[in-house]
Amino acid sequence: MDSEEAKAKAQGLIDEVAKQAEQVFSHFIEGSEVSAINRLNAGELHQPSAAMKQVLTMASSLNRFTRGVFDPAILPLAQFYKQQGAGADESEAKRLAAFSKWSSFQISEEGVKKSNAEAQMDLCGLAKGWAIDEMSRKLKEAGFPASFVDWGGDIKVTGQHPAGRNWTAAILEPPAEAESLPEDGAEKKYLLHAELRDGQSIATSGDYLQVLAPGLSHILDPKTGGPVKITGDTCASASVVTNSCMLADALATAAMASGSVKGGRTLLDNFRNAGLKDPVMDYLLYSRQGPRVCRLVEPGLEKKELREDRLGRHEEAHVVIVGGGLAGISAAIEAANARARVTILEKEPDMGGNSAKATSGINACGTRVQKTSGVEDDGRFFERDTHVSGKGGESDINCVTMLSTKSADAIHWLMDEMGVPLTALSQLGGHSKKRTHRAPPRADGTPVPIGYTIMAHARAAATNMPGIEVKTSCTMKRLMHKVLPDGQREVTGVEYEDSTGTLQKLECDAVVLTTGGFGFDHSESSYMQKYRPDLVGVPTTNGSFANGDGIKFGEEIGANLIDMDKVQLHPTAFIDPKDPGNHTKYLGPEALRGSGGILLDQKGRRFVNELDLRSVVSAKILEHCDPYKMPDGTEYRPWSWCVLNEEAQEKFGKPMLSFYKDQVGLFEAAEGTKGLAELIGCDEATIVETLKEYAAAVDTKICQKTNKVVFPSRVCETDKSFIIARITPCIHYCMGGLVISSGAEVLTSASCGTLGKRQKIRRLFAAGECTGGVHGGNRLGGNSLLECVVFGRLAGERAATINQPKEALLNDAQWHPVKLREVRATDEKYGQNTAVYRFELHGANQKTGLEVGRFISIQGELDGDTLTGYYSPISRPDDHGIIDILCRTDERGGPIVNLLTSLQPGSSCMMQGMGGVKLVGHPEGGWCYNGRRVRKISLLCGGTGLAPAVQISRAFFNMLAREPGQEPAVGEGGVKIVYAAETSQDLAFVQWFDQLTNKRFPGLLSYYLVLNKPPRGWTQGIGFVDQDVIRQRLWFPPADDHVLVMCGPPIFEKIMCGNLAKMGYPRDQYYSFADDN
């Protein structure tokens, strides 16, 4: 149709819906359906129309879920206040409030009744949302692929903007006075331009839209029964994004009725649950006082403005990425986006690697796809499943948390930036939730190979980015590096052989290794021969390029390795009867079992839960099944049959099965149980019995024999169409590799330090299968592609930001954005309800610039409030790229704890360097305070003041480790600590101090503990720290080579300052954080 015809058709549809909305829902029209309901006598029944029933159902659900906060039955009370204003008669208001509530209406399948004849409902807000949803639906059904429906600021969109981008909706900043609106032509201020994706809606409710009387909102407070009083603290506007405009409108109203920004946020967060049909996708709440602006923040996502600030500071870097699989390309794109010049070295003629061969899909929790599909999943379940799968190996808790926290962002990045349609979900073995994302089948039903598809999109994106150069058929030969004066290693570039066989040297600012595992290499010098000689000769799904070279080159310059003996066998690699001994085999996708395929032994019996962990299924095949008989009569690998009935074939996708069956010849067809028995070579009676048992298990939802509880398909003895294939476990993935941090930095053992702390090889990063410590003993299916994206992107950005103009970040008394990397629970190390928060500095080689003893300030926003807290770092001044702070995580930590506990890895806040004791190096070695060389440190601590003591003690003993000549004789120097606490539960750190001193410096650290509530059998101090304790347990009398540092709550330090003054301590001999002069 032409444009005029299309316009007329669209207008007709819109007018039709608008007229219907008016006739059904407008209480201003006497003949409307809602007016008829409002005129009902008590007990009288009304049969609602389909549209009315839909809206009433929504209203009832929301009234129940919000516990009465959302209530559209307020019309009598609202009209009363509008007529009477602020001076309304309280007794009449109380009488009206008794029935101006949703409970006055009884809504059932029978119809609508009222318990009070005066009860009336106002459905105008819901009706507007309903109408917008209807208009949008009808336009789409009429063939309009994209639409932007706006009615009074409530909006629903489909498709994309004509410019090829997502739609945007502007959210108006409320006027200073609730009763005033911007005049026509006056400049309008906006809080946000919200991005809306296909099918999303946004609705805004504000106290400036209408008022019942001056200072009284049109929204009623369910707690008081009266209008919400408009103040600077109450919510002035609420904007909500969901898929349903009707729901968005209702929730925006409910958020306003909650009163404060915090109350609105608490209510809306309850509607983010993926178990809901239309969960909240975004929201923005605003109050005038401050003003406060509260926006939904997805876990682990950095605020856009802070990210732009952080990434706008570094100088350009040249980053070399070795390996062109998904990890390498993810790193390259992220590095290029961070303004780096990128060179990718790929040993094969084309990029792709094993990533292109992946078939299972890619895992994530908390994604838009899961929410739309009603799958309730979060990091607790995902991390638990990953750790369960990884038992027997070293799954680094912080790496697993990073994998989980950044998983949704990884999926959305692939979808939004790479254009990969990851909208299909499945549940693989070992998973408690549907979280494996794939592309949906093509229009003809042909499955989309997910690894190949992701790599095709990623390759196209990388090759079209101006900052990325790709060199193929180039094989790395070694990592170029140098040893720094402090003993640490720093990578300077790579040496590689180009496509002509010429050896080349390529200097750069940082290297990212994404070279894959060692699953193919069975040579005499291979890692497989060294760590798993029992698997030498076992077939593999890996390409010949998987020889572990990146791991070897990292190990050559000192990188630590982990879990090198942990090699995953995939249970379903196809045995090709035409070439059964081929070393490289086709992988039988996880979806064969995920679609309902069952495994049978050579006698036709099931023997395993097909959806158990890969390691379990593989072990059962090797333990239970017979070896394959080769054509020459010799025995090969144990194997089993994989059987799919018609239902399982349909779910997997017959077009893809056609490839395996007709083109490659790996499946054979069988007609009924007789044909199945003939192909397997067993008795038909056994097959019938096996399938009967399985069908019964499907019906009862549990197989008592194998503990299987998820049954994708019902395979039974009456099925007529089967296809079967021969499968055997084969080498699929290597869990071991280079040890990395949760920031993708390659780690090595520290050259010095009191506790053997790991340190990184500077300018070297890694991601993907060449790393270890993420998957533990057995990788969870679907986690490999996710690992490539998450850690590839982390490595790319960290490498790109390596060149910082400032060597130190926090020494300029300015606020700087910092990103949280990890949170470590330290209840057993430092005391109950404590945790160490590790933040990243802007560059991996950057230092804080803070002297020992200085503290920092952290600042961030929560519920529109700016919260600030002060902490002493427990990391050392010479640590690169990170800063660690030790925090209490209970109410004793103060309001800032609410901010810290709201952060997840990847979140950001602001940080500023502050004052402190400032212990610095002396030109002749050792420490200096206020120009005096000091060898004796007294730490007088109480309550929350543990962190400075930890920092100073660690730094002191690290200095002695680096400068052996500075070690004092026992009794002539060292650290003495007095720590006052409430109970013994606060004393877990004592073991850490014991370890610190006993390991290398016995006699140079002592501590004395004072408890207000000691346990029975206590042998140290009781009550409070007095002058005698100071004299006896700390360095005394004062001396020029001594400094006393107080660490604790201000009231504690004030009392201790008084004690020291009475004892004659010179003021320059002690330092108090609370009295920093």
Residue type, 949: A
CB 536 within 8 Å of CB 528:
yes
Q: How far apart are CA 949 and CA 990, in angstroms?
A: 12
pLDDT value of residue 761: 96
Q: How far apart are CA 545 and CA 731, in angstroms?
A: 14
Residue with the two structure tokens 């850690």: 791
Residue with the two structure tokens 């200085």: 854
Q: Which residues contact 4 (CB under 8 A, 6 or more apart)?
A: none
10: helix, strand or coil: helix
Q: How far apart are CA 473 and CA 1022, in angstroms?
A: 72
| Per annotation, catalytic residue among 570, 606, 614, 779 | 570
Extended beta strands in 958-1004, E state:
974-981
H helix intervals, 832-967: 896-902, 946-962
Q: Which sign does the torsion angle of CA 522, 525, 527, 531 carry?
A: positive
CA angle 538, 544, 550 (to 5 degrees): 105
Q: Which residues contact 489 (CB under 8 A, 6 or more apart)?
A: 481, 482, 483, 557, 558, 748, 761, 762
As a residue count, the chain comes to: 1077
pTM reported for the whole predicted model: 0.86
For the chain, which residues score pLDDT lower than 70?
A: 1-2, 86, 178-186, 274-275, 750-757, 997-999, 1076-1077
Residue with the two structure tokens 């090198």: 564
pLDDT value of residue 754: 42
**193 catalytic, yes or no?**
no
Helix (H) or strand (E) holding 870: strand 865-871
Q: How far apart are CA 652 and CA 169, in angstroms?
A: 40
CB 782 within 8 Å of CB 428:
yes
pLDDT value of residue 756: 47
| Per annotation, catalytic residue among 318, 431, 593, 954 | 593
DSSP output for 1014-1031: PPTT--SEES---HHHHH
pLDDT value of residue 755: 43
CB 885 within 8 Å of CB 947:
yes
Q: How far apart are CA 134 and CA 50, in angstroms?
A: 13
H helix intervals, 515-653: 527-531, 549-556, 590-594, 614-624, 646-652
Cis bond upstream, residue 1066 (ω within 30): no
CB 539 within 8 Å of CB 582:
yes
Other beta carbons less than 10 A from residue 891's beta carbon: 10
**570 catalytic, yes or no?**
yes
- Taking every pair of C-alpha atoms in the chain, what is the biggest distance, in angstroms? 101
Query: 410-448, pLDDT tens digit by residue?
Result: 999 999 999 999 999 999 889 999 999 999 988 877 778
Q: CA gyration radius for the chain? A: 34
CB 975 within 8 Å of CB 952:
yes
- Nearest residue to 583 (alpha-carbon basis) of 728, 415, 787, 430: 728
Question: Would you give the distance in Å from CA 682 to the centre of its chain?
Answer: 50
Q: Which sign does the torsion angle of CA 159, 160, 161, 162 carry?
A: negative
